[in-house]
Every structure is written in C-alpha cells, then in structure tokens.
C-alpha cells in the first residue's frame, strides 16, 4: 500500500507539472498578445481623449471667433451709419450755405469724376479711395477713417473665424480617425 500511494503521489505531481508546462506553452502567445492589445487599447484611449479635447477646444475657439466677427460686423455697421448721418448733416449745411457742390471745383460729382479719370490710369479706385475722396470734400475724414478701420477689423475677424473653423474641422477629422482606430482595436480584441 505505501509504495502504491507514493507512486500515485509522484504521478499526480508529474501530471501537475506537465499540466502547468502545457498551459504555459499553449497560452503564452495568447497572453502576450492580449497584454499587447490591452496596452495598445490604453494608448488609443488616451489618443482618443486627447483628440476629443482638441475638438472641444477647436469648437470653443471657433465660437469665440464667430462672436468677435459678429461684434466687428455690428461695429462696422455702426460706423457706416455714423458716417451717413454726418454726411447728411454736412450736405444740409452746404445747401444752407447756397451751394449744392455739383460742377464746382473740389465738390460733388463733377470733382469726383475728374479724380476718377486720373486714378483710372493707375487702375480703378477702391471703395476706400471713393470714401476718402467724398469725406475730404465734405470735411468727414475722421468718420471715413473710422469706417475704413472697422472694415479692416471686420476682414481680419472673418479670416480668423475661417481659420478657427478650419482648425475645428481638422480636430473633428482627427477625432473620427481616433474613433475608427479604437473600434478596430476593440474588434481585434474580440
């Protein structure tokens, strides 16, 4: 009996040893692969989180640029209205003084047409040139410069808004790419 028990105990020990070697050899590549996939999944999750944060920051910047553009548009409209009011007042003072400004040197459309011919040789005058010419003949240079500055500010705000929207769109594309990679990785884990 004692010899049989020793042999049975020895056989059980060898069986356990063989079982652990087989399990280690058979499962080793799978466990290493699973560990590698888990590490890759962790990295993808971090990349996805970073891309979502970039997307949110891009949206916030685009909204801020949009608000600034709206404010600049209202400022530009206000400066144009102020110029128009000043122009009407200046026109009323000139009529009360007994001149309508037409056909006389430096006034009205007659003076402007002569100026257009000289500028036509170098190219067509811009709206700012026309505005400044009208303003100088009516004593409204300060109001005209306010209109020009507000138009320049509006153009700058528009460019910054477009750039912010493009950056937001790039961040969204990056986020979608990260989502795709994450989903592919999850499917490979299954």
CB 137 within 8 A of CB 44: no
- What tens digit of pLDDT does each residue of 142-158 get? 999 999 999 999 999 99
Does 76 or 2 have the greater pLDDT score? 76
Percentage of residues in the chain having pLDDT higher than 90? 39
pLDDT of residue 154: 95
Q: How far is CA 16 from CA 23, 25, 55, in A?
A: 10, 14, 55
Question: For 124, how many CA atoms within 13 A lie in the half-sphere containing its CB?
Answer: 2
d(CA 37, CA 49): 18
Q: What is the pLDDT of residue 43?
A: 84
pLDDT tens digits, residue range 5-15?
666 666 666 66
Contact 143, 88 (CB under 8 A): no
pTM of the model: 0.60
The number of C-alpha atoms within 13 Å of 154 and in the hemisphere containing its C-beta is 17
Mean pLDDT of 121-136: 81
When pLDDT is averaged across residues 111-127 and rounded to a whole number, the result is 51
Q: Given this model, what pLDDT does residue 54 score?
A: 93
pLDDT greater than 80 at residue 189: no
Using a pLDDT cut of 70, give the percent of the chain over it. Answer: 61
Residues 116-141: what's their mean pLDDT?
A: 75
pLDDT at residue 56, rounded to an integer: 94
64-88 tens-digit pLDDT: 999 999 999 999 999 999 999 999 9
- Give pLDDT tens digits for 172-181: 999 899 888 8
Q: What integer is the mean pLDDT of 19-45? A: 64
Q: Which of 16-20, 26-30, 93-97 has the highest mean pLDDT?
A: 16-20
Please tell me the least confidently modeled range out of 64-68, 88-92, 113-117, 119-123: 113-117
CA distance 137 to 129: 12
Measure the CA–CA gap between 72 and 107, rounded to whole angstroms.
Answer: 32
What's the rounded Cα separation, in Å, for the pair 37 and 50?
20
- Write the CA distances from 115 to 80, 99, 110, integer angstroms: 23, 20, 9
């Amino acid at each position: 009996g004692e010899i049989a028990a020793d042999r049975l105990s020895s056989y059980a020990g060898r069986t356990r040893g063989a079982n652990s070697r087989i399990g280690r050899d058979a499962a080793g590549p799978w466990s290493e692969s699973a560990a590698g996939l888990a590490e890759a999944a962790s990295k993808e999750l971090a990349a996805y989180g970073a891309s979502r944060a970039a997307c949110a920051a891009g949206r916030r910047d685009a909204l801020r640029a949009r608000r600034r553009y709206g404010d600049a548009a209202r400022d530009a409209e206000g400066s144009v209205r102020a110029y128009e009011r000043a122009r009407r007042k200046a026109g009323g003072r000139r009529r009360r003084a007994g001149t309508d400004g037409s056909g006389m040197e430096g006034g009205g459309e007659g003076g402007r047409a002569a100026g257009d011919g000289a500028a036509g040789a170098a190219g067509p005058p811009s709206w700012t040139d026309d505005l400044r010419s009208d303003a100088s003949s009516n004593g409204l240079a300060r109001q005209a410069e306010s209109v020009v500055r507000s138009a320049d500010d509006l153009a700058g705000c528009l460019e910054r808004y477009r750039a912010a929207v493009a950056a937001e769109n790039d961040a969204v594309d990056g986020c979608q790419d990260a989502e795709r990679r994450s989903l592919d990785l999850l499917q490979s884990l299954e």
